[in-house]
Amino acid sequence: MTAAMQIADGTGVETVIETRGLTKRYRGGQLAVDGLDLTVPAGSVFGFLGPNGSGKTTTIRMLMGLIDPTAGSATVLGRPMPRAVRTVLPQVGALIEGPALYGFLNGRDNLLRYDSADPSADPRTRGARVAAALDRVGLTSAAGKKAKAYSLGMKQRLGLAAALLRPRRLLVLDEPTNGLDPQGMREIRSLVRELAADGTTVFLSSHLLDEIEQVCTHAAVMAQGRLLTQGPVADLAAGARGRLAVVTPDTGDAARLLKELGVTGLSVEQDRVTGELPGTDVELAELSAALVHGGVRVRGFGIERASLEDAFVALTGEGFDVAG
Ligand SMILES: Nc1ncnc2c1ncn2[C@@H]1O[C@H](COP(=O)(O)OP(=O)(O)OP(=O)(O)O)[C@@H](O)[C@H]1O
C-alpha cells in the first residue's frame, strides 16, 4: 500500500474514503446529505444503502468531485476532494447513473474509443487492453455487436469494462444492478466479488438490502440524508436480535404459552410461531422445556439469524420502504 492512503485513527485500518461532516444543500434548499461521517476501509466491498432519495448519488457525486459540498470534507485515496480530483480520478473506476455509450458502435469500438480518450494509455497495447477488459466482464463473444442491441445488463457490463481498462484501486458503482433481471444481477455481483478478490476496493450504492447482504463486507445505511449506521455487515446484522422460531403443529397453544413467558411480537404462520425474546438473559432451554411441559409438540426450536433488514427496521422503527 502506498503512503497516499490514510491510516484510520487508532485502528491501523487503511481507509480509501473518509468524510467528515459532509453536507450538501441544493440551491433549491433541499438538504440532500447532512453531516456525513463515512469510513470505507481498504479492500472492502462497501455497500452504501438507502431508499431512493436518501442522498446516495449526491454523496457519490461529491466524492468524485462532480459537485462541491456545502460543508464538511472528503478524502478519496488519501487526497482531499474535489481539490485533488486530477490525481485521484485516474485511480478510480466509476459507473455513475449508467454508462455513456455510443449505440452505433459495437462493444469493442466503444472501449477502443474510451481507451484512446485516456492520454496516458499506450496506443500500442490498446487492443490487448480492450480484449482483456471484454474478457473480464464476459463480453468477448458479443464484442462485435452494436451497443444499442445490448441488453441493459450487457450495457452495464460494458460500462464496467470501460472502468476497468486501467488498473484501479477503487471502483465506485452507483446502483450497478438497477433495472437488471436476476441473471444480470448475478453477473454483476460475481464480477464485483472477483474484483474485490483481486484487491480492488468496491464502493457500491444500492437500495436493495438483499444485494448488500450477498456481496458486501461492509455497509453504511442512509435515510433522509443522514447516516444511520456503518460497519461490517455481520456486525450490523448482529446488532439486531434474531427472532425466536418454534415449529409445531400446536401453534395456538405455543403462541399462548410463549406470550405467558414474555415473548412479544408473536406471529403465527402455518406450523410456525415466531416472536421477540423478552430479554438478553432468557434461557432458551427453559422456554423449550416450558413448551414441552405445556403439551406443545415441538418439532423445531431456535433463533433465526437477524438480517440486515431486521437491523434496518430496528434502527428506523419502520420497514425498508423504497419511495418513488
Ligand atoms: N440537482 C438537484 N437539485 C435539487 N435537489 C436534488 C438534486 N439532486 C437530488 N436532489 C434531492 O436530494 C435528495 C437526495 O437525492 P439523491 O439522488 O442523492 O438520493 P439517492 O439516495 O441517490 O436516491 P436515488 O437512488 O433515487 O438516486 C432527494 O430529495 C433529491 O430530490
pLDDT, tens only, 18-56:
999 999 999 888 899 999 999 999 999 999 988 888 899
Which cell numbers in the block locate residue 186? 448475478
What is the interface pTM, i.e. ipTM, of the complex? 0.95
pLDDT, tens only, 196-215:
888 899 999 988 777 888 89
pLDDT at residue 4 above 70?
no
What residue owns the CA closest to ligand 1's atom 4?
Answer: 26
221-226 mean pLDDT? 89
What residue owns the CA closest to ligand 1's atom 30?
Answer: 53
190 and 279 share a domain? no
DSSP, collapsed to helix, strand or coil, labels residue 72 as strand
160 and 284 share a domain? no
Please choose from 36, 52, 56, 58 the residue to mutate so as to test ligand 1's pocket, defined by most ligand atoms within 8 A of CB: 58
What residue owns the CA closest to ligand 1's atom 6?
Answer: 26
139 and 281 share a domain? no
50 and 188 share a domain? yes
Mean pLDDT of the chain: 85
208 and 299 share a domain? no
Pocket of ligand 1 (CB under 6 A): 26, 28, 30, 32, 50, 52-58, 207
Domain end among 191, 207, 238: 238
Number of Cβ atoms within 10 Å of the Cβ of 251? 18
- 72 domain-assigned: yes
- 268 domain-assigned: yes
Instruction: Find all residues with CB under 8 Å of 199, minimum gap 6, and list them.
Output: 43
- 323 domain-assigned: no
Q: In which domain, by residue range, is 156 found? A: 6-238
106 and 73 share a domain? yes
175 and 221 share a domain? yes
157 and 137 share a domain? yes
Q: Length of the chain, please?
A: 324
Q: Report the domain count for the chain.
A: 2
Can you give the pLDDT at residue 166?
87
